[in-house]
Amino acid sequence: MLGFRDIDITDKDRITAALEHSQFMGCEYSFANNMAWKRLGDSQIAFHKGFYICCSFRSEDGIPRFFFPSGEGDYKEVINEMKQYADSLGKPLKIAGITEPTLAMLNELFPDSFTVDTDEGDWDYIYNSTDLIELAGRKFHGKRNHLARFNEIGAEFSLMTEKDFDDCITFSAVEYNSKPEDMDHSFIAEQYAINTYFSYFDELGLKGSVIRVNGKVAAFTIGERLNNETFCVHIEKADTSYSGIYAGINNLFAKACAADYKYINREEDLGLEGLRKAKQSYHPVFLLKKYIATFK
């Protein structure tokens, strides 16, 4: 039977090999993300032969949420192993992170064995990297105006180095400390994720950038290569008292770190209306639909 445990930096090579083989585009198929955000869903990991499996044990319905396995081998076998594990917990097998191709695979391997649901808040926003870099055409007129206002504030942009880590952590902590005392669990998990990114920045192969105004951090962002065609932006923080600051960090980071990729994945909107409007305003080339399969 599968054995689940906490993820560790020493798992990087094995997990990365499985992710590289699958070349999935969803933001959850990232070693850095799985390690940094493990507190959000009380996630643990397991391996089965050539497969890597991540599972969130914290959920609103009390049912563990497995993510579609990455790697190579017999998919029917590994999913049966997942079902056996779920059965041992007295729970149905629930698999998330399923896209159109993997849904077709499941339907072929397990016909009429599961129901399918989806939540638009979980869909990833995928952009053409050239769109975010060039901001060309009428549809980006407003963004170019925001960028022009940003260029007037005398900000300094630079790629992130170890010298920036403490200042960026302090910057994010100020935002965290301004949250209400009864803050959502996700805010606590995000702070843990940010600290994890900085603690293992080089080991995780991350890239980042910083904007400073008068020497002080006004924005920072962190991302990484997700697959051969896609760069993923994991964290983006900015002081909105500076006009156009988000347009600035978005555009300059894309130019500096994502120009060699066809797509940029800016992750999901979590069903938050303000975040949804912000992500839609950059005109994604498509939304990566993700499904959840619950086995009968």
Residue 121 or residue 185, greater confidence: 121
For 126-137, what is each residue's pLDDT tens digit? 999 999 999 999
Q: What is the pLDDT of residue 185?
A: 76
Measured distance CA(95)–CA(64) in Å, rounded: 9
Q: Look up the domain containing 22 and give its range.
A: 9-123
For residues 24 and 116, state if they share a domain. yes
Residue 187's CATH number: 3.40.630.30
What pLDDT, on the 0 to 100 scale, is given for residue 175? 79
**181 assigned to some structural domain:** yes
Q: Tell me if 151 is assigned to some domain.
A: yes
Task: Specify whether 129 is located in the same domain as 261.
Answer: yes
Q: Are residues 105 and 136 in the same domain?
A: no
83 is a domain residue: yes
Mean pLDDT across 58-79:
97
CB 66 within 8 A of CB 55: yes
- 286 in any annotated domain: no
Contacts 24+ apart (CB under 8 A), 4-9: 4/44, 4/45, 4/46, 4/55, 4/85, 5/44, 5/45, 5/46, 6/38, 6/44, 6/45, 7/34, 7/35, 7/38, 7/43, 7/44, 7/45, 7/54, 8/35, 9/35, 9/200, 9/203
What is the average pLDDT across 263-289? 97
- Note whether 50 and 113 are same-domain residues: yes
Identify whether residues 128 and 260 lie together within a single domain.
yes
**pLDDT tens, residue by residue, 158-215:** 999 999 999 999 999 987 777 666 567 788 899 999 999 999 999 999 999 999 999 9
Could you tell me if residue 288 is inside a domain? no
pLDDT at 181: 60
Q: Please return the burial class of 52, using the count of CB atoms within 10 Å of its CB with bins 0-12, 13-18 and 19+.
A: buried
**Averaged over 64-91, what is the pLDDT?**
98
Domain stops at, among 123, 141, 156: 123
Task: Quote the pLDDT of residue 183.
Answer: 61
The whole-angstrom separation of Cα 58 and Cα 41 is 5
pLDDT score for 180: 64
- Are 106 and 219 in the same domain? no
Check residue 186 and give its pLDDT: 81
Determine, yes or no, domain membership for 203: yes
How far, in Å, CA of 231 to CA of 262, rounded? Answer: 8
HSE, CB side, 13 Å, CA atoms: give it for residue 93: 20
End-to-end CA distance of the chain: 20
Mean pLDDT rounded to a whole number for the chain:
96
The answer on 90 and 58 residing in a single domain is yes
Q: Is residue 280, in this structure, part of any structural domain at all?
A: no
Are residues 64 and 150 located together in one domain of the fold? Answer: no
Whole-angstrom distance, CA of residue 292 vs CA of residue 28: 14
Cα gap 201→183, rounded to integer Å:
27
Query: Is the pTM here over 0.85, yes or no?
Result: yes
Do the domain assignments include residue 295? no
- Same-domain pairing of 263 and 132: yes
Are residue 118 and residue 23 in the same domain, yes or no? yes
DSSP 5: B
Does residue 64 carry a pLDDT above 60? yes
Are residues 106 and 136 both part of a single domain?
no
Residue 228 neighbours by CB under 8 Å, 6+ apart: 23
Burial label for 162, CB within 10 Å (0-12, 13-18, 19+), is exposed
Nearest one of 3, 12, 120 to 55, comparing CA atoms: 3
* Cα 275 to chain centroid, rounded: 14
Span 53-71, mean pLDDT?
Answer: 97
Judge contact between 210 and 272, C-beta under 8 A.
no
Q: Is the pLDDT of residue 240 over 90?
A: yes
Q: Nearest Cα to 209, choosing from 248, 170, 263, 151?
A: 248
Residues 157 and 112 in one domain: no
Integer Cα distance of 44 and 64 in angstroms: 10
Would the pLDDT of 89 be above 80?
yes
Q: What is the pLDDT of residue 187?
A: 81
Number of domains in the chain: 2
The HSE-up count of residue 38 (CA atoms within 13 Å, CB side) is: 18
